[in-house]
Chain A
Amino acid sequence: MSRDKTNQKSIRSMIQENKSSRSQSAVMEKVVPKIFLICAIISIFTTIGIVFTLLTETFTFFNRISIVEFFTNTRWFPFTSDENADFGIIALIMGTLTVTAIAMVVAIPIGLAAAIYLSEYASAKTRKVIKPILEVLAGIPTIVYGFFALTFVTPLLDKIIPGGISIFNALSPGIVVGIMIIPMIASLSEDAMNAVPNSMREGALALGATRFEVAMKVVLPAALSGVIASFVLGISRAIGETMIVTIAGGSRPTADINVTESIQTMTAYIVQVSQGDTGYGTTIYYSIYAVGMTLFVFTLIMNLLAQFISRKFREEY
């Protein structure tokens, strides 16, 4: 008993003693939020700075090449004499969209099916094993995926597809970008489905629904906003993907859709110019800003779309 009392006393006195250091912590309380505010402002200003640079250089580019030509010409041949050069971004956009479409055809069904399995069928044990593996897959550097596309998937496709496939093509990087996005879609969709309360599953099961019916007609609709947002983020990621398409996609911009032939995406073009010996101030130099701006607008639209969809499809519960 007496020991208890001394203990109590000592803690009380310790707290009293610590009060003396309060003045120090009061300063901290005032300063720390300001430091955090500065950090927040830095991130905002860098973003604004980047967009500003992008805009001014893009503006210079459009002084040389008309914006109408940029968006209507279907040929992109910049590396030639200025009179013969073509700056029709549609060729690059088509490359990007082809790869993105192939990637989504691969990633959406597999990612969604994996998410449904993990959320609705897998035991807690299985989930514990599979989820970290998915996250490791998400951590593989994209350059490794690029190698994988060029040295494994392309030769494989060459054997499978009758008539073969060129070394650089849209199909191989498309598939591999899809594989890269699977964990993202699976993980985000699984989170959304996991957030659906169990009482809803029970309600449906008690009506004699099978587990598949519960997954498709209760859980998936209830989680739809999160699931679609994961698709849109996946698309946005595929549009911005650079390394895989640079390594395995080739550098022949074309507005024709032929997945077995070489293409060039917007990102791959920017890499090509950045690595080459293009002089400062040339039209080609400014063109990468115009392409970058287009890319930025694309991903921005996708992110806004994701937000809009999250709100629009939300089933309130």
Chain B
Amino acid sequence: MDITINKQMVQKNEKEQDFTPVFKINNLNLWYGQDHALKDIKFDIPEKQVTAIIGPSGCGKSTFIKTLNRMVEMVPIVRMSGEIVYREKNIFNPKYGVEELRTQVGMVFQKPNPFPKSIYENVAYGPRIHGIKNKKVLDEVVEKSLRGAAIWDEVKDRLHENAYGLSGGQQQRLCIARCLAIEPDVILMDEPTSALDPISTLKVEELVQELKKDYSIVIVTHNMQQAARISDRTAFFLNGEVVEYTDTSTLFSNPSDKRTEDYITGRFG
């Protein structure tokens, strides 16, 4: 009985996939040396929604999100096969410059990593390296981005002070503002609240809800409640494979795979 219901649910879910994908991942495999870290990953990431990636430590979720902007290539021993299509272009195509990809696909890291510069310079950094020099334009971009990251009111009187004077939560929102300043299409967030206190976490979560109106967001989190609270779709990773990928509400209320159920009910991980 259970099984038939689940099958129906799966079919229903597959039918529901009528969103516009921003990323299409096809048979993605990734190795660190001999270690097979991602195995035949295949799913689509929707536009202007929040997609959460959950799974236990070492399941490949961080590795996966870093392949989406090719940051994973910072590791010298990495090898990949398969394709990731971003807006109809394969990002592994040698003609597709990695800088161009990263200009479109921004990233917020686990630990806040502002530059050791002023708050203003942190936000203006992206536009500057992409050739925007006009002071007036930069001023506007900085204000707009800081407002967008819900930190403007806290920092507007100290824009020229060092970013390291901010609290951890403020630094993380500054990093989000820095990312917004070049107006990306997608924002990748790799456990953005894991280093933050609960109040800062709440602020970032609210911010994610705001941002999905304009941006497609992929967020890695080890916090299942967070995934349930803020995401529209959730992928459950285990040992480098996608076990289940569906609507967040379905995944948490009615998982079709036993392993997903075990994980979300806290039996492991």
Contact = CB atoms under 8 A, between A and B. Distances in A.
> Are A and B bound to each other?
yes
Interface of A: 123-124, 197, 199-200, 202-210, 213, 217-218, 221-222, 315-317
A203 B178 contact: yes
B112 to A, nearest CB: 9
Given A199-B111, A209-B129, A317-B164, A221 B117 contact: yes
B102 A205 contact: yes
A198 B109 CA distance: 12
A202 B113 contact: yes
Contacts of A221: 116-117
A177 B231 CA distance: 63
A217 B125 CA distance: 9
A200 B217 CA distance: 22
B19 interface: no
Contacts of B164: 316-317
Interface stretch (B54-62, B68-76, B134-142): B68-76
B106 interface: yes
Given A203-B113, A207-B125, 17 more contacts: A197-B113, A200-B115, A202-B74, A202-B109, A203-B109, A203-B114, A203-B178, A206-B102, A208-B100, A208-B101, A217-B125, A217-B129, A221-B117, A315-B116, A315-B117, A315-B162, A316-B164
Interface string B108-147: 0101011111000000011011100000000000000000
A209 B107 CA distance: 13
B87 to A, nearest CB: 16
B208 interface: no
Nearest to A317: B116
A203 B116 CA distance: 12
Contacts of B35: none
A203 B129 contact: no
Given A199-B111, A316-B164, A317-B116, A206 B71 contact: yes
Contacts of B117: 221, 315
Task: Identify which of A124, A199, A203, A213 gathers the most chain B CB atoms within 10 Å of its CB.
Answer: A203
Contact of A218 (B100, B115, B162, B179): B115
Contacts of B116: 200, 221-222, 315-317
A204 B126 CA distance: 8
A204 B115 contact: yes
Contacts of B106: 206-207
A207 B126 contact: yes
Task: Identify which of A124, A206, A209, A317 gathers the most chain B CB atoms within 10 Å of its CB.
Answer: A206
B115 A222 contact: yes
Contacts of A204: 115, 125, 129
B129 A207 contact: yes
B182 interface: yes
B151 interface: no
A208 B130 contact: yes
Contacts of A205: 71, 74, 102
Interface in B26-68: none
Interface string B177-190: 01100100000000
A278 to B, nearest CB: 55
Contacts of A218: 115, 125
B99 interface: yes
A210 B130 CA distance: 10
A60 to B, nearest CB: 51
Contacts of A210: 99
A191 B187 CA distance: 34
Contacts of B115: 200, 203-204, 218, 222
A73 B38 CA distance: 77
A222 B109 CA distance: 19
Interface string B81-114: 0000000000000000001111100110101011
Nearest to A209: B129
B25 interface: no
B175 interface: yes
7 closest residue pairs by CB, A with B: A208-B103, A315-B116, A199-B113, A206-B107, A317-B116, A208-B102, A207-B126
A213 B102 contact: no
Contacts of B162: 315-316
Contacts of B130: 208
A160 to B, nearest CB: 40
A265 B102 CA distance: 55
A121 B137 CA distance: 33
Contacts of A207: 102-103, 106, 125-126, 129, 178-179, 182
A202 B71 contact: yes
A203 B122 CA distance: 10
A205 to B, nearest CB: 7
A199 B92 CA distance: 24
Contacts of A209: 99, 129
Task: Identify which of B76, B107, B113, B125 gathers the most chain A CB atoms within 10 Å of its CB.
Answer: B113
A312 to B, nearest CB: 14
